[in-house]
Structure 1
Amino acid sequence: MSASQTPGSQTPGTFGVTTTAAEVVDGVDLHGRRAVVTGASSGIGVETARALASAGADVTLAVRDTAAGDRVVARLAAGLPAGSGELTVRRLDLADRSTVAAFAAGWQGPLHILVNNAGVMAPARATRTPDGHEQQFGVNHLGHFALTTGLHRALAAADGARIVSVSSTGHLFSPVVFDDLDYRFRPYDPWTSYGQSKTANILFAVAAAERWADDGITANALMPGNIADTNLARHMDMKQVEEFIASGELALPPQKTVEQGAATSVLLAASPAVAGVTGRYFEDCAEAGPVTGRAGAVGGVAPYALDRDNAARLWHVSEALIG
């Protein structure tokens, strides 16, 4: 996909920490493009869908609760300018493999933008998906892996599709522990399990970038920021979070608004400034630098999350796990 825009109006470095999604798509023309945003019934998913539609893309909100999705569409449609893209809703429960397969099988025609945005964050108690996987790994990674590989033909048909994986600075909490992905032998911990799933999101982008380059597909991952007022923390024990922050184990960057939090997703999905960029990890609308340890880090990317051998191994393991 080559989003059209006035030449030279967007270049690397144009945007930053306080940039909003609307600013990213200002002047970008996405008419004729089709996009899917998972988890688009709340938080930055809504704002991502809004920004892409405002630039002319036809956007499908892939959500567990279609009634909530319909309410979002009605609200967005009322505020979008004339000439915006069409908004539709389809059911997708990333924990339920049958709905993932049905979504992919029901997609017709090319898909230009896929934003893997939905997620679960740090449930206080261990839970599992219906097929037995630890909830965060099962939803955040395996569900999106099954969806994206199921949509591969549609992405390849788009002539320049972009895949965007919403990760987190939480990936610094843990690499992918291949010997115990589902916490069957080690004690469950909400933060290392979240970290593992977010590392998996980055490794998936690294592997997809390499495997699907000949199809013209780019894939990148990102940290949206510390976003106020989202539904992501709905499963968390907030007392536990406060204790974790007080211990120094969890460092948080300054808060962003939802509009600012969606900006890096929209940059990777639509901006000419990153055309052809693939297999990278972004934060604050720029490629993130490496970090060597977790202590005190509020940004950057761990080397294990960009390791090509880890990425290839995770791809093969994920194929086996989803059958």
Structure 2
Amino acid sequence: MKKKVDLIGVQVDCGASKVGASIGPVAIRIAGICEGIRKLGYELEDKGDIIQPKGGASSEKLRNHESVISTCKSLYESTLISLEQEAFPIAIGGDHSLAAGSISATLKHHKGKVGVIWIDAHGDWNDDKITETGNMHGMSFSAVCGHGPDVMVDYGQGPVYADVTKCVQIGGRDIDAEEAKKMKAAGLNVFAIDTIDKLGMQEVMKRAIEIASNGTDGIHLSFDIDSLTPEAAPGTGTKVHSGLTIREAFLAVEMLHESGKLLSMDMVEVNPILDISNKTAKLASELVLSALGKVVY
């Protein structure tokens, strides 16, 4: 892994149904992520925060779309600069709509040769046609794979889309019916929570890493903290019961580090308003550090 890390905060929550994730980057920094990265021996540049614009156009099927797209475009530009400077970019958020920007940049830089591992309780494969809520944090995975909405990833740069056969969803347990049909039709690789129960997290991650790294330059990890069970991560806006255990989550990021394939990553949906004593932000920080190589022994 590259020895220079760029940390990019993204203060966005207008892609979600609840406010609060916009202050997630502040909470994750308070939890010690910067000190932890430096302690691991990396050169760290904290690039500060991208802040969602206030107001802007909205619609029933694409809520707050002008603000969401503007934020994603800013993250795209910042992430692309990091990659061009041979740094490892980490986006901390912030709702999951931001991944449309970070992943688009990684795909552009690597000419599409990027696998995506998306660890999340949700599929995030909705679009403006099938969405039940209009919340754009539920559309970003679909968008980066070229299955819409294109406005989330097309900033005039000529978007490069991910190859769905190199993309993996892990931990899904709250996926809309039409969304699931769309994911299956597209050929997305899915290891839902019941599959993790049957195979175990080690085997799931082994298979996921093989899928996402086969024929690619490496992997972008997009990690939604709501993938964990709510008892472990209460500070998030779309909690779903019976998620990943803390150890399953750590095993996932530890194996990704050991693979040597990580190119970039997101840590999203930390909502301090809903948290208890910054518990979820601390967990998010530690998961990022483990993805960078922090070990127990």
**Rg larger in structure:** 1
Q: Does the alignment reach a TM-score above 0.5?
A: no
The normalised TM-score by structure 2 is 0.40
The normalised TM-score by structure 1 is 0.38
